[in-house]
Structure 1
Amino acid sequence: MVHAWVRWSAARRPEAVAVLLPVLVMLVIGLWGLDRGGMWRDEAVTFQVARRSVPQIWHLLHTVDAVHGLYYLLMHAVLAPHPGEIALRLPSVCGAAAATGLVAALGVRLCRPRVGLWAGLLYAVTPMTGHFAQEGRSYALVAAGAAGATLLLVRAARSTRPGPWCAYGATAAATCLLHEMALLLLLAHATTLALARVPARVWRAWLLAAAAVTLVLTPLVLVSRGQSAQVAWLSRTGIGSAERLLGMFTGPALLVTVPYLVLIFLALRPARTRPGTLSLQAVALPLVAVPPAVLLTVSHWRPLYDERYVLFALAGAPLLAAAGAEYFATRLPRPLPHAVLTGVLAVTLVFAVQLPLLRQDRSPDRRPDNLAAVSAVAHRELRPGDPVLFLPSLARRAALAYPKGFRGIRDIALSVPAPASGTLYGQEADPGELRRRLDRLDHVWLVAAPFATHRAWDPGSATERAKLAVVDEEFVRREQVVRRGVTLRLYVRRPTYIPAPPTGQLRPARPSVGRAGPGALGSPPGPPR
């Protein structure tokens, strides 16, 4: 018995190493520089929503962000013991590590251990993987779920029992609930089954599982359709979108991209396989090609595409490259000595080429904004009791993520706080009430998002238009501080003069109160756009 176990362990050791080594590499890359010292806007939404109570989260999902509901509930449990930036990003690190191990396991199962090892390592060192491994959002977890569902599909297609199909359906459903764009995974899997020419019984089992996933996801799709304004910022796609995604999947350096594509081309050679056999090519090619192609095509007419929505498709690229490397190694005139180590060395060179990009990605400046820096500017410029106007309301996100910098200020427009209102940034007063509140002030600080200071910006709500109108008509800009991600402006009320009867001199009817510090620009009157 003992000898049999020893023989089994020795036989399984290469497979275990092929899976565990990439996982370890991914964990090191993911944990490296995890505490960047600042959240950007999307992470801040996760942070502030996940710290609400479960009823408050449920209230929010009825108006906005239903697509992230399951993720917010998961992060609520994660952040409950000790909220912080590291805890915020740790689930993504774990998701990226799990996805890496599952990619390696697919290579082991569909080909051989060294192919799994190469594919897993290549997935781990891809800059796109490392980027989303350090994002406090759901995309790395979605990638792990998609890779897990794909591995379960391979197992289920070779089984006659219902258990593997139930596991596949449950995993696919959970993945789609984390983000509904993962539903495109089912199209990739249908293409895989078609390429493999599986028998009718496999099609029946898969269709039943896919129908169950679709049924589970239907309520989320219906609710999120009513919240489609959230993706109004997306633009139509073109050839540039596809080129950018290709660079993200392989790495932006031509020194990496060209050999990567050559290896993928080698992997796509015609191969003789028995009908019903799921080959690596039949699994990996639809995974990497179908979801992006469908979303890019649809988004040419109705914008829905963003690279992060198809992160889960990345898993197919290193599998194909590793299969191409295996084909090259086995077709050499002489067997390649130490083929496994040669492949590992090649991946190490890829990592070295892309290391500067990975290092830059650990800086908060690589994200669209840094709300910690915004809060630091506010802490330096604002004083307790200062009246503050956020333009638009989403500029309040820095105060919600890092309240220390805004402690003691008076939020002039806020009517109902964000958690109680079931919104991301709070419910603001109507235009009439806002005008009355501003009429009592002799100065006000404007905390504006960068786009809100442009003249071309057209606010969509009456309250935002009222902010612009009142500040433009009744106040003069006295001071301005511009930092990446925010503009702070101090406005003082325009002086209104009336004649003094005895001497004919002018005197101000209201005092102009404000403080012009070292950063004052002395800007002329004008709208804050």
Structure 2
Amino acid sequence: MTVTGGTDARDARVGWSAALRPTWVVPLAVGVAVALIVLNGAGVPSYWGDEAASVMSAQRTLPSMLRELSAVDAVHGIYYAVLHVWIGLFGSGEWATRTLSVMATGVFAAGLVVLGRRWAGQRTGVVAGLLVAVIPRSSALAMEARGYAITEALSVWLVILFVVLRARRTSPSRWIGYGVLSGAASWFFLYLLLVPLALIATVVISVAVRRRRGVAGEPVADLIRAGITAAVVALPIITLAALQRHQVAFLGHRGYLSVTGVLVTPWFAAVTVAVVFWALMAWGVVHGLRDRADRSWVPLALAWLLVPALVMITLHLLVSPTYDSRYLAISLGAAALLAARGITGLLGVLSAHRLALIGGAAALSVLVLGVTVPRYLHQRTPYAKDGGADFRAVADTIAQQAHPGDAVLFGQGPRPSRTARLAYRLYPDSFGGLRDPQLVTAFDARAGLWDELAPVQDIAAGLRERTVWLIESKHAATASADLAALRRHGYSLITQQRLHRTMVYELVKETPRDRAHAWAALIGSRMPTSTPSRSGRSDGDPR
């Protein structure tokens, strides 16, 4: 099997400008269409914990951000810096921050059209690009203030550049440049390095096998040098990630590495979606390997799809916990292309009969949209993130009911990324005028991600505010102890409200004046009242 970069001999004569000039209109149209589709409802769900890490990090000053990255999240540092500039221009609301990911998703879809056209024809490329709008992982990442949507876009354009360089039989210096670019891309997201290395390894192994069979193959020395260069450029961020690996130690006990975590959640979110798409991808591979024109790129697409997952699983099992299904967003382009090839392959079988072709296209559309649209719609509901994040609902409740001078307290969450305190940082305007007696050290004065807070039980005795709002995560173990501590120091529970997964308690402390009023009301209620006379008038009635 020969692994080449295109579908026909014309690729060998394609230049840099000619490689893109004929295709820019269609990719642009698909990219804009996909961006508009995923933009729909992007600002509806509340922020969740990972987005809180992005927004809070991006709102730091640059010296504060560097201090943070020296301790945690170095692998996300470039995204935080980009988001820092973006927030400075457009604000920190959900619509503003997520639009960056929406735009990146459009670029990703456009890239799939370009790559699909070179590999399998424009029809396959267009289908792959359009699938980006409904594949659950891509449609979710498109409306998330994290760097994964940009990572998707970088991955497909690195593959395009690889294909173009091979088609041109380019100079060694350009391959070195490709290695530098690939290594630099890993500074944006570490595992992005696996994509070009997987492609290079696939070509090198393919050439080696052919040579063992006595068949001449293309020179691979430049590709090997490009891979080595990429690894060298990436070495500093690899080192930083290794030094900060304690930050993701929790991945070892989250259960992400499972059959579902490998075959379903990386790209498809639900079993029904996964079954449909894996079937389409399998047919795409079978059809591609049977078609002489496709046989050249299918191994590259499979390497792009599978090698990053295999490397992450191996590292997770043998070195340190590293596997998170979202990381495999770097391979989503391969999944979309193979599924698209499965669709166009099936339609190709039916193309001899017009009615069969129309019926098949309609059936496939109904099938794909039938399993993906419900996920798309769910993703655009208020509590769609992280199983029900409701930070905005918390902020809205406080903004509507609290008064300046009240105190707001936060219990400990089941984990830092779910603590109700994040509502205070994500929606600060809703907490304007409220006192914050728990704060020990603000997040932007620390090397960590979050605020350092004193426990409610430690500061309850010193509270002087008449009204206190206690916000507790639904599954927090400290809620009952926090309420008990406030009651011991004179607070009475007035109201409690259960939001989606957060409880909001209003407590009021009785002052001496309140007690005097209460006694006066009690005494007044026990004083004798005048009784009506037999004439029907009460005593003292002048009538």
TM over 0.5: yes
SS in 2 for 1:364: coil
Structure 2 counterpart of 1:168: 178
- Call closer, same or farther: CA 1:55–1:232 in 2, change over 3 Å: farther
- Call closer, same or farther: CA 1:440–1:53 in 2, change over 3 Å: closer
- Call closer, same or farther: CA 1:346–1:295 in 2, change over 3 Å: farther
Q: 1:376 aligns with which of 368, 386, 396?
A: 396
Structure 2 counterpart of 1:56: 64
Structure 2 counterpart of 1:450: 474
- Call closer, same or farther: CA 1:164–1:31 in 2, change over 3 Å: farther
In the alignment, is the contact (CA less than 8 A) between 1:247 and 1:257 conserved in 2? no
Aligned residue runs from structure 1 range 237-248, under 5 A:
237-245=257-265, 248=268
Aligned residue runs from structure 1 range 283-322, under 5 A:
283-296=300-313, 298-299=315-316, 303-322=321-340
- Call closer, same or farther: CA 1:134–1:174 in 2, change over 3 Å: farther
SS in 1 for 2:42: coil
Q: Distance in 1 between matches of 2:515 and 2:348?
A: 82
Structure 1 unaligned runs (5+)?
1-8, 458-464, 496-507, 514-529
Structure 2 counterpart of 1:482: 498
In the alignment, is the contact (CA less than 8 A) between 1:18 and 1:114 conserved in 2? no
How many residues are aligned here?
A: 477
- 1:287, CA displacement in angstroms? 1.2
Q: Distance in 1 between matches of 2:503 and 2:515?
A: 22
- Call closer, same or farther: CA 1:436–1:75 in 2, change over 3 Å: closer
Structure 1 counterpart of 2:523: none
- Call closer, same or farther: CA 1:36–1:171 in 2, change over 3 Å: farther
Structure 2 counterpart of 1:76: 84
Structure 2 counterpart of 1:217: 237
Q: Distance in 1 between matches of 2:451 and 2:161?
A: 43
In the superposition, the TM-score normalised over structure 1's length comes to: 0.77
- 1:310, CA displacement in angstroms? 0.8
- 1:135, CA displacement in angstroms? 0.8
Q: 2:203 aligns with which of 174, 179, 193?
A: 193
- Call closer, same or farther: CA 1:250–1:163 in 2, change over 3 Å: farther
Amino acid at match of 2:178: Y
Q: Distance in 1 between matches of 2:205 and 2:356?
A: 30
Question: Over residues 399-438 of structure 1, what are the superposed CA-to-partner deviations in whole Å (9 max), with x where a residue is unaligned?
Answer: 1111222222222221232223344332335x7x983663
Matched, 1:44 2:67: no
Q: Distance in 2 between matches of 1:340 and 1:346?
A: 10
Q: Distance in 2 between matches of 1:90 and 1:110?
A: 30
SS in 2 for 1:409: coil
SS in 1 for 2:264: helix
Question: Over residues 237-276 of structure 1, what are the superposed CA-to-partner deviations in whole Å (9 max), with x where a residue is unaligned?
Answer: 2223224237708984478447524523423536769xxx
Structure 2 counterpart of 1:526: none
> Which is bigger in relative contact order (C-alpha 8 A, separation at least 6)?
2
Q: Distance in 1 between matches of 2:308 and 2:463?
A: 55
Amino acid at match of 2:188: L
Aligned residue runs from structure 1 range 124-273, under 5 A:
124-158=133-167, 159-194=169-204, 196-197=206-207, 199-228=219-248, 234-245=254-265, 248=268, 252-253=272-273, 256-257=276-277, 259-267=279-287, 269=289
- 1:351, CA displacement in angstroms? 5.6
- 1:11, CA displacement in angstroms? 11
Structure 2 counterpart of 1:404: 429
- Call closer, same or farther: CA 1:184–1:327 in 2, change over 3 Å: same
Structure 2 counterpart of 1:516: none
Stretch of structure 1 that moved more, 95-104 or 444-453: 444-453
- 1:395, CA displacement in angstroms? 2.6
Q: Distance in 2 between matches of 1:225 and 1:14?
A: 45
In the alignment, is the contact (CA less than 8 A) between 1:477 and 1:489 conserved in 2? no
Structure 2 counterpart of 1:427: 452
- Call closer, same or farther: CA 1:263–1:346 in 2, change over 3 Å: farther
SS in 2 for 1:124: coil
Stretch of structure 1 that moved more, 248-257 or 90-99: 248-257
Structure 2 unaligned runs (5+)?
1-16, 208-217, 517-543
Sequence identity percentage: 28
Structure 1 counterpart of 2:532: none
In the superposition, the TM-score normalised over structure 2's length comes to: 0.75
- 1:486, CA displacement in angstroms? 1.9
- Call closer, same or farther: CA 1:370–1:428 in 2, change over 3 Å: closer
Structure 2 counterpart of 1:415: 440
Matched, 1:110 2:127: no
In the alignment, is the contact (CA less than 8 A) between 2:347 and 2:360 conserved in 1? no
Structure 1 counterpart of 2:10: none
Stretch of structure 1 that moved more, 214-223 or 254-263: 254-263
Aligned residue runs from structure 1 range 441-520, under 5 A:
441=464, 444-453=468-477, 470=485, 478=493, 479-490=495-506
Stretch of structure 1 that moved more, 472-481 or 280-289: 472-481
In the alignment, is the contact (CA less than 8 A) between 2:46 and 2:392 conserved in 1? yes
Q: 2:373 aligns with which of 355, 367, 390?
A: 355
Q: Distance in 1 between matches of 2:232 and 2:360?
A: 41
In the alignment, is the contact (CA less than 8 A) between 2:75 and 2:190 conserved in 1? yes
SS in 1 for 2:420: helix
Q: Distance in 2 between matches of 1:63 and 1:512?
A: 52
In the alignment, is the contact (CA less than 8 A) between 1:26 and 1:124 conserved in 2? yes
In the alignment, is the contact (CA less than 8 A) between 1:388 and 1:445 conserved in 2? yes
- 1:95, CA displacement in angstroms? 1.1
In the alignment, is the contact (CA less than 8 A) between 1:329 and 1:335 conserved in 2? no
Amino acid at match of 2:422: R
